[in-house]
């Protein structure tokens, strides 16, 4: 039986009674030369899993902050090939931290499904989350990933019906990404009670870990999400916004991300 890095990571955290801290950054933002160092910096600041965003010109699920990050990366020539190379460089010294590529189907189709599955497996990608890819439409694609022992991570939203949820869970592996808001990434209207109820509903139907993301941008929102039964918390827009602000003031993106993640992760470590 193949035990994925993601499975090992969640098992170990469960043993320690901890939640996974899952930061998201867009590959190539603010500078391609910084991406691998940023990934290592996230791990130093407590990241258990890294979600690496693949830049795309029409990111429908993303709010303005991640859209701008995508644009900056694309303007510097960062494509899917570059993202896979970042993972390869990261893996030269870190073979433990799971990496999930998050993005849209278009760049993967251009790259070629087989080519992508092969190369992703070779460089050490652990999971793939394709935002605009309903499981039933892309069984062949997901089968190619599964054949390479790459987990297929799917989004579940507040509006997902039970019937739909069962379909998604039938295809999912690694973890479920629960979208805590109706809307785009980077918004900030969270209702912890609602989120908690929905996570319990999802967990009734699956043994997979559930990570919660979208709208988690303050220590309080991290703390609120940590009180739910979620197994992990995804933080993205807040980190990218912090880097943007630091960049406009001439600050170091790496130091900024480390201190922002350190600060936010305190919401996870408070005694519950």
Domain ranges, ordered by start, for the chain: 5-269
CA distance 243 to 216: 16
Concerning whether 62 is annotated as a catalytic residue, the answer is yes
CA distance 29 to 26: 6
Options 2.40.420.20, 3.40.50.150, 1.10.760.10, 3.20.20.70; which CATH number does 5-269 get?
A: 3.20.20.70
Of 26, 91, 89, 22, give the one whose Cα is nearest residue 54.
26
Task: Return phi, psi of residue 227, to 5°.
Answer: -80, -15
In this model, does residue 1 exceed pLDDT 70?
no
Q: What is the mean pLDDT of the chain?
A: 91
Of 130, 132, 131, give the one whose Cα is nearest residue 142.
130
> How many CB atoms within 10 Å of residue 172?
22
Structure tokens at 41: 């910096």
Beta-bridge partners for 100? 51, 127
Q: What is the pLDDT of residues 78-121, one digit of tens each?
A: 999 999 999 999 999 999 999 999 999 999 999 999 999 999 99
Concerning whether 51 is annotated as a catalytic residue, the answer is yes
More confident residue, 58 or 95: 95
Which pLDDT belongs to residue 180?
82
- Given 62, 126, 151, 224, the catalytic residue: 62
Task: Return phi, psi of residue 115, to 5°.
Answer: -60, -45
- Given 7, 48, 51, 151, the catalytic residue: 51
Confidence of residue 61 (pLDDT cuts 50, 70, 90): confident
Four-point Cα dihedral 113, 119, 124, 130, nearest 10: -20
Confidence of residue 214 (pLDDT cuts 50, 70, 90): confident
Which pLDDT belongs to residue 272?
41
């Amino acid at each position: 039986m193949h035990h994925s890095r993601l499975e090992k990571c969640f098992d170990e955290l469960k043993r320690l009674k901890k939640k996974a801290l899952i930061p998201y950054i867009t590959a190539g933002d603010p500078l391609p030369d910084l991406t691998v160092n940023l990934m290592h910096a996230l791990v130093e600041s407590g990241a258990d899993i890294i979600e690496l965003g693949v830049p795309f010109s029409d990111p429908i699920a993303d709010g303005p902050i991640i859209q701008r990050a995508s644009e900056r990366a694309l303007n510097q020539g960062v494509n899917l090939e570059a993202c896979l190379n970042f993972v390869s460089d990261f893996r030269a010294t870190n073979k433990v931290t799971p990496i999930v590529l998050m993005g849209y189907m278009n760049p993967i189709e251009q790259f070629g499904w087989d080519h992508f599955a092969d190369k992703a497996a070779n460089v050490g990608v652990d999971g793939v989350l394709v935002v605009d890819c309903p499981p039933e439409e892309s069984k062949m694609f997901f089968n190619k990933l599964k054949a390479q022992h790459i987990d297929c991570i799917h989004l579940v939203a507040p509006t997902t019906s039970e019937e739909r949820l069962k379909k998604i869970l039938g295809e999912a592996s690694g973890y479920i990404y629960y979208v805590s808001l109706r809307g785009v990434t980077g918004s900030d209207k969270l209702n912890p009670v609602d989120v908690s109820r929905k996570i319990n509903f999802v967990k009734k139907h699956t043994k997979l870990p559930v990570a919660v993301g979208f709208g988690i941008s303050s220590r309080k929102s991290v703390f609120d999400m940590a009180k739910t039964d979620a197994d992990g918390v995804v933080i993205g827009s807040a980190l990218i916004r912090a880097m943007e602000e630091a960049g406009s003031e001439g600050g170091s993106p790496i130091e900024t991300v480390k201190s922002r993640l350190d600060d936010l992760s305190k919401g996870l470590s408070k005694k519950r």
